[in-house]
A and B are shown apart, each in its own frame.
Chain A
Amino acid sequence: MKQLQESIPVAHTRIYALGAARGNQVVSNDDIAGPIDSSDEWIRQRTGVATRNRAAEDQSMMDLAVEASKEAIAKSGVDPSEIGAVILATISFPYQTPSGASLLSELVGAQGAAAYDISAACAGYCYGIAQADALVRSGLCKYVLVVGAEKLSDFISPTDRTISFLLGDGAGAAIVGASDHPGISKTIWGADGSSWDKVGMTGSILDFRDGKTPWPTLTQEGQTVFRWAVWEMSKVAKQALDAAGIEASDLSALVMHQANLRIIDEFAKQMKLPDTVVIAKDIVETGNTSAASVPLAMHRILEEKKVTSGAFALQIGFGAGLTFAAQVVELP
């Protein structure tokens, strides 16, 4: 009897290159403080956000995704026709179907690649890196394009005091491929469905259609999320370090989901990181861009030469679901 042929695995993977795109408008705290009866000082003190990038009407989530992807592809030197899968992590593509990834594959020259969106909110990009690592190591794909892209400004309320004022628009992209040494550690990931309603939308689109709710926008239970993000997620981050077989002192950078600077600071305290570890703080200027925030923050510390290629970074995404994913990566 004939035996089935399987894809031929490769030993290791790494991120070859990153790309970034930010919304084309800079929105200050003063610009948005009025409707939430707040001030620049109040917002900075409670969130660390000084400005956020938001996309004007003429810039879509897909525009941001394409810009970031093209940079990552160009820097990687990979021929886009060799990309085997396009994974788009987003919560703000305005169509139920088809996927944004399918259109993105066409727009970046990756025609024919497998293409799908993942809905894991702020953990989406790190979920995507986990999948890309598995797809390449299994031999199913030669290269994978992973993109976190959001135009969250389509889903915010100017009067919401829980999350809207933190949010920005942007995209971050990575090309993952084979490596002669380990460049992506085992991902620690999961979801806590018992807290499904702690971050999410104010209503469903069916309720909106039926006139039962205004246009659904993002909302969260801030205190609950803060406790989970700091004290539960720092445990996940420690598990990711253990799984990678390294210590905090082996890290060059911590690149967390850019939810709130207070979360980042308290999280770093819980991790007891040495002073040598660079802590990415892209949120101060870009705001919280959900699935895009981890690659944008990593891209920034690389551009600013705060870290060097080949060093280790712990990246962790966490958010609505509640979903989470953490892995150690070699910086591209």
Chain B
Amino acid sequence: MAHSQQEVLAGLAELVNDETGIAADAVQMEKSFTDDLDIDSISMMTIVVNAEDKFSVKIPDEEVKNLITVGDAVTYITANQD
């Protein structure tokens, strides 16, 4: 079942929290994963793989580097869900 943008944001915030301990409400659309949330490349990949499972979406390696902000990830996931 397709998830709404709001659901994807909430789910992604949970995954970020699980991996890094960052409070879920700090994970907002305009936040940059690296500059604002200080998420390193390995944690980012862990979040990506977990997001693939959670939202039934494929996020290829070459796409991961385009996911600069939380909004980029939410938009990509919402648009590419099975």
Residues of A within 8 A of B (CB): 45-46, 221-224, 226-227, 230-231, 260, 262, 266
Q: Name B40-76 residues within 8 Å CB distance of A.
A: 40-42, 44-46, 48-49, 61, 64-65
Does A224 lie within 8 Å of B61, measured CB to CB?
Answer: yes
Q: CB-CB < 8 A to B48: which residues of A?
A: 227
Shortest Cβ distance from B65 into chain A, in angstroms? 8
Interface centre among A221, A226, A231 (most CB of B within 10 A): A226
Shortest Cβ distance from A329 into chain B, in angstroms? 29
Question: Given A223, A230, A260, which contacts B64 in the complex, CB threshold below 8 Å?
Answer: A223
Question: Given A223, A230, A260, which contacts B44 in the complex, CB threshold below 8 Å?
Answer: A223
Shortest Cβ distance from B41 into chain A, in angstroms? 5
Size of the B side of the interface (Cβ < 8 Å), in residues, is 11
Shortest Cβ distance from B11 into chain A, in angstroms? 19
A262–B40 CA distance with the chains assembled, in angstroms:
11
Does A46 lie within 8 Å of B42, measured CB to CB?
Answer: yes
Q: CB-CB < 8 A to B46: which residues of A?
A: 230, 266
Does B49 lie within 8 Å of A46, measured CB to CB?
Answer: no
A223–B43 CA distance with the chains assembled, in angstroms:
9
Q: Which residue of B lies closest to A221 (CB)?
A: B61
A221–B41 CA distance with the chains assembled, in angstroms:
11
Shortest Cβ distance from A219 into chain B, in angstroms? 15
The prevalent SS among residues of B at the interface is helix
Question: Given A221, A231, A262, which contacts B42 in the complex, CB threshold below 8 Å?
Answer: A262
Nearest 8 pairs of A and B residues by beta carbon: A224-B61, A262-B42, A223-B45, A226-B45, A223-B41, A227-B45, A226-B42, A46-B40
Q: Which residue of A lies closest to B48 (CB)?
A: A227
20 contacts between A and B (CB under 8 A): A46-B40, A46-B42, A221-B61, A222-B41, A222-B42, A223-B42, A223-B44, A223-B45, A223-B61, A223-B64, A224-B61, A226-B45, A227-B45, A227-B49, A227-B61, A230-B46, A230-B49, A260-B42, A262-B42, A266-B46
A260–B45 CA distance with the chains assembled, in angstroms:
14
Q: Which residue of B lies closest to A45 (CB)?
A: B40
A230–B40 CA distance with the chains assembled, in angstroms:
16
A230–B19 CA distance with the chains assembled, in angstroms:
15
Q: CB-CB < 8 A to A266: which residues of B?
A: 46
Q: CB-CB < 8 A to B42: which residues of A?
A: 46, 222-223, 226, 260, 262
Shortest Cβ distance from A163 into chain B, in angstroms? 13
A32–B82 CA distance with the chains assembled, in angstroms:
46
Shortest Cβ distance from A260 into chain B, in angstroms? 8
Q: CB-CB < 8 A to B65: which residues of A?
A: 223
Q: Name B11-50 residues within 8 Å CB distance of A.
A: 40-42, 44-46, 48-49
Shortest Cβ distance from A138 into chain B, in angstroms? 40
Q: CB-CB < 8 A to A224: which residues of B?
A: 61
Shortest Cβ distance from B74 into chain A, in angstroms? 20
A226–B48 CA distance with the chains assembled, in angstroms:
12
A109–B34 CA distance with the chains assembled, in angstroms:
55
Q: Which residue of B lies closest to A195 (CB)?
A: B61
A266–B43 CA distance with the chains assembled, in angstroms:
10
